[in-house]
Structure 1
C-alpha cells in the first residue's frame, strides 16, 4: 500500500516499519520493546492524542486544524500511536493492514447497512 494521496510520501507501510525497526535497533531499544511495553506505550500515546482535544468543543477542535502548531501536534500524536501499533503488530507476528481488513469485514457483518445506518448503537443492540 502506497500513501500517494499524501504530499511528500510515497512510502509503503512495510518501508515505514523497516525504518522504524532500524531507528529502534540503532538505539538498542529492542530490549525494552516487549509486547507488554509496546501495548502500554500505545495506550500512553493514545492518551496524549486525547489531550489534544480535551476540554474542547467540536468547533474548537475544527479551529485547531487551522492552527499550524496545533495541527502539527495532532499529526505527531497520531503518528506516535500509529508507529506503536506497527511495532505491536510486528512483535506479535501479524500484519496490521491484514488485521484491519479482517476486522472491517467482521464489522460489515455486525453492522449491516439496513440495520446500522444512521444509528450509533452497538451491534448487539441492533
Structure 2
C-alpha cells in the first residue's frame, strides 16, 4: 500500500496538484467516488448484486470505482500522515474486543476469580 500511496503522491506532484489535495477536498472526492460505486448497485436485487462481477461491463465499472475510492483514501491518508494498514489493524482489534464471538470466552473471562477455567495454585 505504501508503494501505491507514494506512486499517487508522485503522480499528483508531477501535475502540481498538491495545493488542491487538502484533506477537505480529498475526503469530498472520496465521498463522490463512493457514491458512484453505490450507483452501480442502486437498483440491483440482492441476488443481482452478488453476481455483478459476472457482467463484463459492470465488472469493469465496479473495479474502476473501487480504484477511485482507494486512490482518494490513500491520498487522504498521505496528506494527514495516516498509516492506513495500521489504522485498519487497530480498528479490527478494537472491534474483536467490542464484538466477541458469541459463546467464546475471552482471556479476561477465563482469568476471572469465579471462572471454572481459571488455573489457580490452590
Query: Where do residues 76-95 of structure 1 align in structure 2 (5 Å cutoff)?
Result: 76-95=64-83
1:65 aligns with 53
1:33 aligns with 21
CA displacement at 1:50 relative to structure 2 = 0.3
**Higher RCO, Cα 8 Å, sep 6+:** 2
Give runs of ≥4 in structure 1 deviating > 2 Å.
none
- CA separation in 1, counterparts of 2:37 and 2:20? 22
CA displacement at 1:63 relative to structure 2 = 3.2
1:99 is aligned, of 62, 80, 87, to 87
| CA deviation vs aligned residue, 1:78-111 (integer Å, no higher than 9, x gap) | 1111111111111111100000000000110110
Instruction: Provide the aligned length of Structure 1 versus Structure 2.
Output: 103
Ranges in structure 1 where 5+ consecutive residues have no aligned partner: 1-12, 116-126
Aligned: 1:24 with 2:6 = no
Bigger Cα Rg = 2
What value does the CA root-mean-square deviation take over the aligned residues? 1.2
- CA separation in 2, counterparts of 1:56 and 1:67? 13
TM-score normalised by the chain length of structure 1: 0.77
Ranges in structure 2 where 5+ consecutive residues have no aligned partner: 104-122
